[in-house]
Amino acid sequence: MARVAILLDEMYEDSEFRIPYERLRQAAHAPVIVGSEAGRRLTGKRGEESVMTEVEIGDVSPEDYDAVVIPGGRSPERLRTDPRMVGFIRAFFQDGGLVAAVCHGPLLLAAADVVRGRTLTSWPAVQDELFEAGARWVDREVVEDGNLVTSRKPADLEAFSRALLRRLELRAGAHPGGGAEGLR
C-alpha cells in the first residue's frame, strides 16, 4: 500500500481530484489530501466536489509519501504561490519520488523548477509556461518521463490513473516485500 499525497487548494478541477483519488483507494492505496492548512474545506471549481484537507503542508516531508498527485483547475495556480508547496514538490521530485500531474498541475512543477529537460503534457494553455521553464511539451493523453507522469484533461483521467497505478506497482515490485517502504 502506497501513501499518496494529493496537493490541493480551492477551485481544483472536480474530476481531476475525484477519479485518481477513487482509483487509488480502489487499489488499496492511501491517498491523503494535503493543503495549506489541515481541516480546511475546499470546493471544486464546478461545485461537484467538496473535500476536507487532512494534513497541512508544513507538517509533511517527502519521506512521508510514495507518490504525489497534483490535480488541475485553478488549484495549482494557488499552490505555486505557497513556498512550502513549491519546496515540498521540489524536494520530493529531486529525491526520485513519483509525481503525477494533470491539466494545470504542471504549473506547480514549473514553479519548483523540476521540468527542465523533461517531456510532459498538460492543458494546452500551460505549454508556453512549461516551455519557458525548459520542458518539452507534447500533446498526448499521458506522458511518462522518469519519475514524472502527466496528462492533459478530464477526458484523459482513466489513462492517467492507470499509468499512476502501474508505476506504483512497478516501484513496489522493484523492492522485495513491496509495501510503502519499498516504493521510493
Hey, how many other C-beta atoms are within 10 angstroms of the C-beta on 133? 18
Is 179 a known active-site residue? Answer: no
Distance separating alpha carbons of residues 103 and 72, to the nearest angstrom: 5
CB 84 within 8 A of CB 56: no
CA dihedral 133, 136, 140, 141 (to 10 degrees): -40
Rg (CA), the chain: 15
Which of 33, 34, 103, 115 is catalytic? The answer is 103
CA-closest candidate to residue 131, choices 116, 149, 148: 116
Q: Is the pLDDT score of 177 beyond 50?
A: no
When pLDDT is averaged across residues 4-15 and rounded to a whole number, the result is 97
For 3-173, CATH number? 3.40.50.880
Band (pLDDT 50/70/90 cuts) for residue 174 is low
pLDDT at 178: 43
DSSP H or E run through 70? strand 67-70
pLDDT at 150: 98
When pLDDT is averaged across residues 102-126 and rounded to a whole number, the result is 98
Q: What is the pTM of this model?
A: 0.93
When pLDDT is averaged across residues 22-46 and rounded to a whole number, the result is 97
- How do residues 37-79 score in pLDDT, each as one tens digit? 999 999 999 998 999 999 999 999 999 999 999 999 999 999 9
Cell reading at 9: 487548494
Cell reading at 142: 499521458
Per-position b or e across 75-85, b if 16+ CB within 10 A of its CB? bbbbbbebeeb
pLDDT at 171: 81
When pLDDT is averaged across residues 138-151 and rounded to a whole number, the result is 97
In the chain the first and final C-alpha atoms are separated, in Å, by: 12
Please report, for the chain, the start and end positions of each structural domain, with discontinuous segments joined by +: 3-173
Q: What is the DSSP string of 74-126?
A: THHHHHTT-HHHHHHHHHHHHTT-EEEEETTTHHHHHHTT--TT-EE---GGG
